[in-house]
Amino acid sequence: APLQAKPGPYKLDEKLTPKEAVTSYNNFYEFGTDKSDPSNNAGDFKPTPWTVKVDGLVGNPKEFGLEELMKMPIEDRTYRMRCVEGWSMVIPWIGFPLAALLDQVEPQGSAKYVSFETVVRPEEMPGQKGLFQPLPWPYVEGLRLDEARHPLAILAVGLYGETLPNQNGAPIRLVVPWKYGFKSIKSIVRISLTEKQPETTWKNSNAREYGFYSNVNPAVDHPRWSQATEQRIGEGGFFSTARRKTLPFNGYGDEVASLYSGMDLKANY
């Protein structure tokens, strides 16, 4: 459905990735592991009605209905998206700062982290049933509270002027543009504030390859492939792939590098 939003504070002078690519080249293993599986298999998924439960170390735990979330201060946010697999896109999201939601539940002083959880619905998500399950469900992710409060971190409810397509994480997902794409968890049903660092799905699956931070970093290779360059999806062609240098923090270093001052980013990958 069409979705109107006011212009946001971050501008990006890069060509948008075509909508067709943004909505048909996805990693969303709940619908299958091929890039085309999510767009092919997400037709039965029902993103409404929807509630997001926000609990944990908060003064005001609350369940947000989707209608209420859509009334948050939503705005246009065009961000680069860099997948850990070495490809990237430029996506015009519509969303609101995660901080705005966190403010409503009044985090306690002891809260240090935010954990997120994706819905489990095997009957609507074919990747969650069958013999070979690539990952354990639910998919879980997490951020440090200061990362979650950073103005760049948003909960997205739309892209390209419309509500989120199912394959992109309908009806509500996280977008953290300075981290690898898998941190931006989709179809969120629960957000909890915790004192301990939360479990994260890919770290549990292979801790050596996928760290808790997973900030985009061309200087730290994935153990099995280089992260120095990326392929911009939708640009170039069969005989000329559009490879470009990957930027530290995916080009958002000016905004976010201070979150990690004094940290060894090679050890905290």
Partner 1 sequence: MAIVPALPRKLHGPSIWALYVIGLCPAVWSFYLGASGGLGINPVKEFEHLLGLWALRFIILTLAVTPLRDLLGINWIRYRRALGLLAFYYVLMHFSVWMLLDLGMDLNAVFADILKRPYITIGMVCLAALVPLAVTSNNYFIRRLGKLWIDMHHLIYPIALGGALHYFLAVKSVTTEPFIHIAAIALLLAYRPLRKPFLRWKKARKTVDSPQPAHR
Applying CB under 8 A, which residues contact partner 1? 20-21, 24-25, 29, 33, 35-36, 85, 87, 131-132, 134-135, 205, 221, 224-226, 228-229, 231, 233-234, 237-241, 243
Q: Which is nearer to partner 1, 4 or 238 (CB)?
A: 238
| Residue 238 Cβ vs partner 1, minimum distance, rounded to whole Å | 5
Q: Spell out the SS3 assignment of 28-77.
A: CHHHCCCCCHHHHHCCCCCCCCCEEEEEECECCCEEEEHHHHHCCCCEEE
| Residue 63 Cβ vs partner 1, minimum distance, rounded to whole Å | 33
| Residue 171 Cβ vs partner 1, minimum distance, rounded to whole Å | 24
Q: Which is nearer to partner 1, 37 or 76 (CB)?
A: 37
| Residue 252 Cβ vs partner 1, minimum distance, rounded to whole Å | 24
Asked whether the beta carbons of 159 and 168 are under 8 A apart, the reply is: yes
Q: Which is nearer to partner 1, 137 or 252 (CB)?
A: 137
Q: Which is nearer to partner 1, 26 or 192 (CB)?
A: 26
| Residue 181 Cβ vs partner 1, minimum distance, rounded to whole Å | 12
How far apart are the C-alpha atoms of 79 and 230, rounded to whole Å?
15
* Nearest 10 degrees: Cα torsion 88, 89, 95, 99: 20
| Residue 235 Cβ vs partner 1, minimum distance, rounded to whole Å | 11
Q: Which is nearer to partner 1, 2 or 239 (CB)?
A: 239
Asked whether the beta carbons of 212 and 200 are under 8 A apart, the reply is: yes
Q: Which is nearer to partner 1, 80 or 190 (CB)?
A: 80
How far apart are the C-alpha atoms of 178 and 163, rounded to whole Å?
23
Q: Which is nearer to partner 1, 226 or 268 (CB)?
A: 226
| Residue 223 Cβ vs partner 1, minimum distance, rounded to whole Å | 8
- Token couple for 179: 């981290």
